[in-house]
Structures are given as structure tokens and as C-alpha cells.
């Protein structure tokens, strides 16, 4: 009976909520993830969301919750990655932000949530992966500008120290560089699309001191269908029949905390925001 009541309360919570936020905690120390070596960034994210949702449901005492908030924060308190003031100087906090929808407020929300989660006032670098026009690969400067302007605002308010881009060819990187007030400090290149860095891109990046990095993230980190399936898998204890069809991924932020002197990853995790589509 207790389990039924708990399931009913969780259903009411999720029915009422408009936004779901996931914080996976430090993946470097998390032993409960199913796949020790996930095959792809998408698989890793799936595994994280599922484990976080499942852990949150099993460890949260819903009967102590007085009201039904519009935003539900799904995390396990002992898994959080707070950086102490003493160690802040010794670590570099970098993030990659995947925008699943073209909503400018998402960028500010994601950066603020990352600062809050890690207890820092500033992220050292943020790379943006804007929502791609998936039907064709051609991003344009007009497509990038709104997101870049939002990032520039966060640099000016000192919430981010340096900003970078992802998957820009030489022409688009040059257009962005010439237009932007805050210049890109890095550009990520997907090694699946080119085994060797294009010489024109390398020459331009070298001339303007832009760091070229490599990555293996897919163009779409997670489809709407995969996200709903993942949520379904994380719901248990009598919640499997909950309708998740209205939920959409808004953004995903993956962060790394690196010990500068040793170059090792101290912690890594995901922050995820999903919202319920309006009926």
C-alpha cells in the first residue's frame, strides 16, 4: 500500500511539473552506472539520466514534500560535486553546452545551474553546440549569432571566462571571429568527419590564437524519442505507465573539472533540463 501511495504521489508530482532538471553527480566516482565503458556520448547520457531518475525516485521521501513545484530537481545529494574555495585555483572547470532547442534563456539557465551545482562563480570555458539544422549540415552566422550574443553577455558578467564553438569550418569561424565582440577561444572538430584537420582551418586558428580541439559527439546528442525511452526506463516502482510523451529535452551541459597541475579529470558530469510541451 505504501508503494502504491508513493507511486501515486510521484505521478502527481510529475503531472504537475513543467520542468525537470537532472544532475548526474560525478561520473568519475559513480559506480552504479550500468555500462562501465559506454560506447558513445549518447549511451553515456542515457545511462546517466536513467540512473539519476531511478536513484532520485528510490531515495526521495515524497511524503515530506509539502507542495508540487513547477521545477523538479532530480539528483542524489551525496553524489554532488561541490568545489571548495581552497581548491578552486587548482582546477579548471570546462563545459560543453548542447542546445536542443533555440531558446536563448537556456544558455543562461544552464550556466547558472552549473555554477550553482559546482559552487563556483565562474566557468573557465564553455563550448556551445547550437541546435543544428539537422536536415542539412550548413550552419550560418545568422544561426549562431543569438546564442553567441548570450554567451558574450555571460562573459561580460564574468560567469564565463572563455567561449568556444563546435564544428565550424574555416569560413564560418572567420565570419564569427570578425563579427563577434568576444572572440572564440576554441573550436571543436569532429574526427568522424575528418581524420586530419583541414589545413585552411589550422592556419586560420593558428593566426588568431584559436585552439583546435577534437570531439566525438554526434550531431544530435539525443533524439526526442530516445530521451522519452530513457525516462521510461528510469521510472520504476509502479511508475512505468506514466505518460512521458510530452517531455522534451531543452539542453544538456557536460562539465569537466580538471586538476591543472596534473591534467587529470577530477570530476565529470551532466546537467540536463527537460520541459513538458504545452498541450
Q: State residue 167 phi and psi, 5-degree precision.
A: 65, 35
Name residues whose C-beta falls within 8 Å of residue 137's C-beta, 6 or more positions apart in sequence: 219
189-247 pLDDT per residue, tens: 987 766 678 899 999 999 999 999 999 998 889 988 899 888 888 887 667 667 788 88
Give the C-alpha separation, 234 to 214, whole Å.
32
105-163 pLDDT per residue, tens: 899 999 999 999 999 999 999 999 977 654 455 678 998 999 999 999 999 999 999 99
Listed residue (31, 71, 37) closest to 51, CA to CA: 31
The pLDDT of residue 37? 63
Give the C-alpha separation, 113 to 124, whole Å.
15
Q: How many DSSP H helices and E strands does the chain contain?
A: 8, 9
Q: State residue 163 phi and psi, 5-degree precision.
A: -125, 145
Question: DSSP per residue over 129-153, as a string?
Answer: EPPP-TTS----HHHHHHHHHHHHH
What CA–CA distances, in Å, run from 51 to 47, 59, 78, 230, 252? 6, 12, 14, 10, 16
Question: Angle between the 224-234 and 41-59 helix axes, to the nearest 10 degrees?
Answer: 30
Domain ranges across the chain: 2-276
Amino acid at each position: 500500500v505504501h508503494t502504491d501511495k508513493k507511486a501515486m504521489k510521484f505521478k502527481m508530482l510529475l503531472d504537475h511539473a513543467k520542468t525537470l532538471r537532472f544532475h548526474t553527480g560525478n561520473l568519475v566516482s559513480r559506480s552504479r552506472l550500468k555500462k562501465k565503458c559506454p560506447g558513445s556520448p549518447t549511451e553515456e547520457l542515457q545511462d546517466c539520466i536513467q540512473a539519476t531518475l531511478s536513484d532520485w525516485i528510490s531515495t526521495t521521501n515524497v511524503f515530506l514534500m509539502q507542495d508540487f513545484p513547477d521545477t523538479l530537481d532530480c539528483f542524489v545529494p551525496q553524489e554532488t560535486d561541490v568545489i571548495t574555495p581552497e581548491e578552486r585555483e587548482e582546477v579548471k572547470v570546462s563545459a560543453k553546452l548542447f542546445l536542443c532547442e533555440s531558446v536563448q534563456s537556456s544558455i543562461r539557465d544552464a550556466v547558472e545551474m552549473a555554477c550553482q551545482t559546482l559552487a563556483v562563480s565562474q566557468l573557465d570555458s564553455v563550448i556551445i553546440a547550437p541546435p543544428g539544422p539537422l536536415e542539412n549540415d550548413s550552419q550560418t552566422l545568422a544561426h549562431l549569432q543569438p546564442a553567441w550574443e548570450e554567451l558574450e553577455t555571460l562573459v561580460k558578467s564574468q560567469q564565463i571566462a572563455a567561449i568556444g564553438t563546435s564544428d565550424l569550418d574555416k569560413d564560418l569561424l572567420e565570419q564569427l571571429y570578425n563579427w563577434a565582440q568576444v572572440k572564440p577561444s576554441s573550436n571543436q572538430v569532429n574526427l568522424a568527419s575528418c581524420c586530419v584537420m583541414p589545413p585552411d582551418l589550422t592556419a586560420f586558428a593558428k593566426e588568431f590564437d584559436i585552439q583546435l580541439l577534437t570531439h566525438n559527439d554526434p550531431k544530435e546528442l539525443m533524439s526526442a524519442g530516445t530521451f522519452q525511452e530513457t525516462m521510461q526506463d528510469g521510472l520504476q516502482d509502479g511508475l512505468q505507465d506514466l505518460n512521458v510523451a510530452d517531455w522534451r529535452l531543452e539542453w544538456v551541459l557536460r562539465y569537466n573539472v580538471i586538476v591543472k597541475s596534473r591534467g587529470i579529470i577530477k570530476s565529470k558530469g551532466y546537467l540536463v533540463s527537460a520541459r513538458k510541451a504545452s498541450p
